[in-house]
Amino acid sequence: MTLRQSLMNSIEDLKREVANMADLALANLREGLKAFKTTDLKLAKEVMAKDDEVDKYEEEIAKKALKIIWKEQPVASDLRLVTGILKLITDLERIGDHASDIAEMTLHLEDNRNQRMLPITSKMAEIVEQMVLSSIQALVKVDVVKAREVIQEDDEVDALFQQLIQKMTNELKNDKLDPNEAIYVLMVAKYFERVGDHAVNIAEWIIFMVSGKHKNTLLF
């Protein structure tokens, strides 16, 4: 096996590990929302416990990435790719944290949650899940076009979040929503909004892998 083949095999293995980490973070995100919707305390605690697995993935991927830099000595695009992975796994780890945060909100809710707020939150969840999935697909293929599409989708998430705030404000004014419940619903929506931001960050690091620029700043 040549040095180049060894490097490419190591990079492909690294990308597979990132995809596995993303799959776990996304699964936790879906289960966290499910627990929140159904007030499933058992499921919520399971999601919170699984966050440690996401953290372990981050540690192992970081070690492998640093080993590639040290052992394989990649240059140019290969070095940007490995460096980008080192950066974006932090965002994946934060997505895992937010899944745990959403699950934790379930522990504070009663069974009388306001169903009128959940459709908007569910729509946000649907979009951000696809954003994260698309960002990882973009990573596997190093697809800048797909990465840019992820960034554009964030506007819809932000719009839905503002819609939720407006609807919630009206409900509170008309005494149709319990204030305590409103806080938890709003926090869950905010966590999903942040997940969208992390998906955007991942997409921006993918663009960096190709261009050497991060948010219009030339790094190398």
Distances (CA, A) of 188 to 44, 94, 96, 141: 13, 14, 14, 32
Residue pair 84/205 in contact (Cβ under 8 Å)? The answer is: yes
**Domain span holding position 108:** 3-218
Rounded to whole angstroms, the Cα distance separating 23 from 19 reads 6
Closest CA to 213 of 102, 80, 53, 89: 80
Q: Nearest Cα to 121, choosing from 169, 170, 157, 171?
A: 157
The domain that contains 116 carries what CATH number?
1.20.58.220
pTM for the full predicted model: 0.90
**Cα 144 from Cα 142, distance rounded (Å):** 6
Q: Say what the pLDDT of residue 21 is.
A: 94
Cα 166 from Cα 160, distance rounded (Å):
10
Q: What is the pLDDT of residue 1?
A: 54
pLDDT for position 180 = 80
DSSP 8-state symbol, 40: -
- What pLDDT does 118 receive? 80
Structural domains of the chain, count = 1
**pLDDT tens for the 220 residues of the chain, in order:** 566 677 888 888 999 999 999 999 999 999 998 988 888 899 999 999 999 999 999 999 999 999 988 887 778 888 899 999 999 999 999 999 999 999 998 888 765 555 666 889 989 999 999 999 999 999 989 999 999 999 999 999 999 999 999 998 998 888 877 888 788 889 999 999 999 999 999 999 999 998 888 777 766 5
Query: How many other C-beta atoms lie within 10 A of the C-beta of residue 54?
Result: 23
